[in-house]
Amino acid sequence: MKTRSLVSALTAAAIALTLAGCSSSSAGSDDGTLRVVASTDVYGDIATTIGGDAVHVTSLMTDPAQDPHSFEASAQNQLAVSKADVVIENGGGYDDYMQTLVKGAKNSDVKVLNVVDLSGKKPVGGELNEHVWYDFPTVSTFAGALADALGAADPSKKATFEKNAAAFTEKVSALEATEADLKASYAGEGVAITEPVPLYLLDAIGLVNKTPEKFSAAIEEETDVSPVVLKDTLQLFSGHEVKLLAYNEQTTGAETEKVLSAAKAAGIPVVPVTETLPAGTHYIEWMRGNLDAVKDALAK
């Protein structure tokens, strides 16, 4: 598990100056819409889907070309949180800067939704896979909790939020059905990953992650991969022990590039994955595309 960057000393100073210039940090907006701040555009997109025109959503991490590990909150982010009605954080150590922002906002009315907490997932072997937006049951649970939070903030639109959440979760259920179909055909097949980003999705299909744990842990924690571990990882491809490589395009380096090259050299299909939304896409179509890519890779 990689803890994302906290607010630096310089940024914290800028935040303090920004907030010092504000006479109040009351939530809500002048036009009556609810203000929602999400740590990533994944949750921001879902919030827009459920809230519609009744919400104004600010997503902090939005650049699909950025390494999410290096994200650092800004004074503008702090100001947005200080005015928010609802704040959405992933939790699980993924976006600890959100706790820093919430504490600094002095916004006693804000409702904070922690998606890892909502998931009920606990660490396995001392580690928690915090990438819960790839877990569809968790996403459905989050959608319901968000509709409740928005409805509590604006009871006049509660029914609309609930209707939108129901329509969204119906589409998520269709994604789960696709997982079940793939599981019926491919359960037990081996796969490799560079990081555990898509593991909940792969696990739901019944695929077996054969990547040495020390390899993916080192990549996620941005530490060196030992020669022995790298050799064992590369042999997965030369030995054709896996059907695909799920490759995190947002966190790359010398070791992951060697793995990518080995997979291509062995003719192993590569499924690119990301931690934030690809440009111009929404959550459902993004995940549908991920499932289609996995299906195509498994069929080869």
What are the Cα distances from residue 81, in Å, to 29, 98, 106, 278? Answer: 12, 9, 9, 24
Residue-range definition of the domain harbouring residue 157: 9-174
Q: Which two tokens stand for residue 114?
A: 């922690």
Final residue of a structural domain among 144, 174, 204: 174
Are 131 and 219 part of one and the same domain? no
Instruction: Examine residue 180 and state whether it is found in any structural domain, yes or no.
Output: no
Are 40 and 162 part of one and the same domain? yes
Q: H or E stretch including 39?
A: strand 34-40
Dist. CA 255–CA 263, nearest whole Å: 13
Contact in structure between 146 and 47 (CB atoms under 8 Å)? yes
* 234 Cβ contact list (under 8 Å, min separation 6): 258, 259, 262
Contact in structure between 87 and 58 (CB atoms under 8 Å)? no
**Where are any strands of DSSP class E within the chain?**
34-40, 55-61, 86-89, 111-114, 190-193, 208-209, 245-248, 270-273
Are 155 and 233 part of one and the same domain? no
Please name every residue paired with 193 in a beta bridge, in sequence order, or none if there are none.
246
Are 67 and 151 part of one and the same domain? yes
Q: Which two tokens stand for residue 225?
A: 């991969």
Total H helices, total E strands in the chain: 12, 8
Contact in structure between 220 and 213 (CB atoms under 8 Å)? no
Dist. CA 160–CA 51, nearest whole Å: 8
What CATH number should be reported for the domain holding residue 271? 3.40.50.1980
Are 31 and 126 part of one and the same domain? yes
pLDDT in tens, the chain (300 residues): 554 444 444 344 444 444 444 433 445 566 889 999 999 999 999 999 999 999 999 999 998 877 777 789 999 999 999 999 999 999 999 999 999 999 999 899 999 999 999 999 998 777 899 999 999 999 999 999 999 999 999 999 999 999 999 999 999 999 999 999 999 999 999 999 999 999 999 999 999 999 999 999 899 888 999 999 999 999 999 999 999 999 999 988 999 999 999 999 999 999 999 999 999 999 999 999 999 999 999 999
